[in-house]
Structure 1
């Protein structure tokens, strides 16, 4: 049996874990007051609802969250790719009813597996086209467009008796670094930051969003600490009228793990005003992950909190306040009823959002997948996108960042030799010169070729007719395929 401080710390912790069944340590901690769990790809099975039942049996008020955004980011469909529209597609369409319906469908799917928190929508205004971690996860680069679609998706999710979590406060849209791997700094003028990047969060707060996730970014005008650990930044949320649960982005990300550490980060985040600490995905260290990485990360966070409580650097009052907010949200969600909504045709929404530059119908497709490597947030190199696009046709993965022109030309030769139209699959045509150069070399060949872009829409036209998809998703790839084959009705 734990002591009172350990149980108190458990009430603000939200870990990931290994496996498709609950580890013994996790069930024990849930019975001892652990706030809940976060699901990631390694937890997904055909019987995820049974895992949720196991967790809820150990703690009926557990918060079960999942990083399910639609588009390029899915956990529920991690093996096959998302079948829901992504934010950039919804922003391009600019139909708030479609965005609200997407939120409602997200909530329905999450409730069906026993979850009660959707870690979305992304409220970041993506003003830097080089952004490696937000990009098409954002509704767009205009704060008013992002605001209205953030509100619409929050409304759809929360009408489904699931908590929404807008992210990543105070705004992760104007960076070219990924906080999974480093600590980004955004040195915009304060007036611009407040006018552009805070606006969607203000709108979400006014709409009654249940939770808001912090960003591991530094805004020098507001101090040297990353927002997750910065009382001035988190205090802004309360000054803006937010009374819900402040959730940290994962404490195992490099921006925290490799600076103050998970334990120090947990204590500092609580002291700064956070309420629920997402410890994150134990697979994040990659090959360096140990078999018990999930338990190690959880204990590092909890031990850091308990040590800070004991030495007085973190007050019990602050942690009890945080745990009270978390418990109140969990209790309310347990009693919530979903609003009934009409059936949702996700394919039709994506079809309306996909744009093509007058491509001629093809008989078959031969795909050269030249996208960047996977990131921890977005598995953009996942084979399901290229597979769905190619169908039974030829496809090859080509890492343009690490291959020379000779090898790239050989891949183009093989694609041309295969049946049908050559498709160059890209995701960063403006930010990655190597992707654009490959498209240009394909265009110089005397053969049918097109580009399919699953990243941000190209600001400078590509040398090939281009289908702008706006998400690395299964549904996006299937719609692009039917577009290229001339099967769109």
Structure 2
């Protein structure tokens, strides 16, 4: 029932022992897939892990006779990628796909996300995002959502599921009951939905209903409080998870990471794991131990795992956690692992296949997703990029400088507090103009002294800005490359 992350590109001894003892599997993060020797991977390259010790995980998912493992990975395209975290994704993200509204394209992207996941040894894609993003202030979902309309989100979620499954992987839709109407990031705080149950049912549950109807095998919970369901976040709330079962879902309920502040700073990861199992969760995503950065201990991965494991053992010993609850969860997880393993031959063929959609189809979607305010002048050659963006959510967890480097085309990159350059082509990079007043004010200040500057907005559009603006709806390598091409030639709305 436990799904930890780990540090490094090789399988730690403690993790090998736990896998031998029956651990469900692991979740892969960017630090597990970094190019060997710090080599910079080329855009769209599939990182090969076969040369190192991590291959033990891949063999466990494909070799006949091996116990099947569930290997998860956050591959969403757009802003969120693990396999391409060091280069940026060259696949469209959800906001781009939802805006273009081409279901065949969304299915093709889902298929490619699954192929790339399988290529690095993962057989569970932690996506698509089924959240309906109705709050423009949302700092953690935003462009990761297919949009603000529940019907549009529903049909794209189903299309993405079709694509993922057709390539041989399992999908895990997220984040039930919907993280789209929040203005706090559950990585750092405890969000609370301020809407009533009627609106929740009408606007935020339809994509989950559609996914269940399409046969989704796993659903990830959100660490958000729905007051009418009580004061516990949905991950730890039997009312919330009971509602998911009432919708007809009989697959694996996966928790969002238990090290996120919404759980860690309220009840703690260990007690939170026990509460989640008692509430009806089946598979406990423990953490990305690299989230602590320099504060992480050398054995942070094992520490995080043991905290949860020991809390569960103690709760079984003292009767707080009935063993029947543990067995129920383990059975569901085992059924999913068996089902994914049965697709191994199909998955191997799908990884090698190429339906011709990439890269031309991806670039078409990225271009059609861009909207333009005003007349963007041609800015050929090197440009100065003034990056006004704040820190990204831990959900992104990837290098971000590929966006500004691509837009700069060999020019200089300046941070938000730098003086505005007096001459030369200037691009102002923003991502939250609909919610971050400081970004809007800074753009206005730049416009007063450099009316010839151009804004590239990689978030969701808000009110018009006082400068010509390209809205890309993604902070990805693909979106930056297409925007840079438009800057090279100039374009009008």
Question: TM-score, normalising length from structure 1?
Answer: 0.91
The secondary structure found in structure 2 opposite 1:332 is helix
Which residue of structure 2 aligns with residue 428 of structure 1? Answer: 432
- With over 3 angstroms needed to count, the CA separation of the structure-2 counterparts of 1:487 and 1:438, relative to structure 1, is closer
CA contact (8 A) 2:58 2:120 kept: no
Report 1:69-468 matches (<5 A).
69-336=76-343, 337-338=346-347, 342-344=355-357, 345=359, 346-357=362-373, 358-364=375-381, 365-379=383-397, 382-398=400-416, 403=417, 408=418, 410=419, 412-413=420-421, 416-417=422-423, 419=424, 421-445=425-449, 448-458=452-462, 460-468=463-471
Is the aligned partner of 1:34 residue 2:23?
Answer: yes
The secondary structure found in structure 2 opposite 1:167 is strand
RMSD, matched Cα = 1.7
The secondary structure found in structure 2 opposite 1:451 is strand
CA contact (8 A) 1:252 1:284 kept: no
Which residue of structure 2 aligns with residue 483 of structure 1? Answer: 486
Inter-partner Cα distance in structure 1 for 2:333 and 2:54 = 18
Inter-partner Cα distance in structure 2 for 1:136 and 1:57 = 35
Deviation at 1:56, TM superposition (A): 4.7
Deviation at 1:51, TM superposition (A): 4.7
Is the aligned partner of 1:18 residue 2:7?
Answer: yes
The secondary structure found in structure 2 opposite 1:145 is helix
The secondary structure found in structure 1 opposite 2:147 is coil
CA contact (8 A) 1:172 1:215 kept: yes
Deviations 1:239-272 (A, max 9, x none): 1111111100000111111111111111110111
CA contact (8 A) 1:147 1:203 kept: yes
CA contact (8 A) 1:71 1:471 kept: yes
Inter-partner Cα distance in structure 1 for 2:195 and 2:437 = 26
Inter-partner Cα distance in structure 2 for 1:42 and 1:130 = 29
Inter-partner Cα distance in structure 2 for 1:313 and 1:169 = 26
Deviations 1:438-477 (A, max 9, x none): 211222235521100001112x111111100011111111
Inter-partner Cα distance in structure 2 for 1:396 and 1:60 = 51
Deviation at 1:308, TM superposition (A): 1.0
Structure 1 residue runs of 5 or longer lacking an equivalent are: 1-11
- With over 3 angstroms needed to count, the CA separation of the structure-2 counterparts of 1:242 and 1:375, relative to structure 1, is same
- With over 3 angstroms needed to count, the CA separation of the structure-2 counterparts of 1:157 and 1:487, relative to structure 1, is farther
Inter-partner Cα distance in structure 1 for 2:73 and 2:392 = 19
Structure 2 residue runs of 5 or longer lacking an equivalent are: 36-47, 61-65
CA contact (8 A) 2:433 2:440 kept: yes
CA contact (8 A) 1:373 1:381 kept: no
The secondary structure found in structure 1 opposite 2:174 is strand
Inter-partner Cα distance in structure 2 for 1:167 and 1:135 = 14
CA contact (8 A) 2:454 2:467 kept: yes
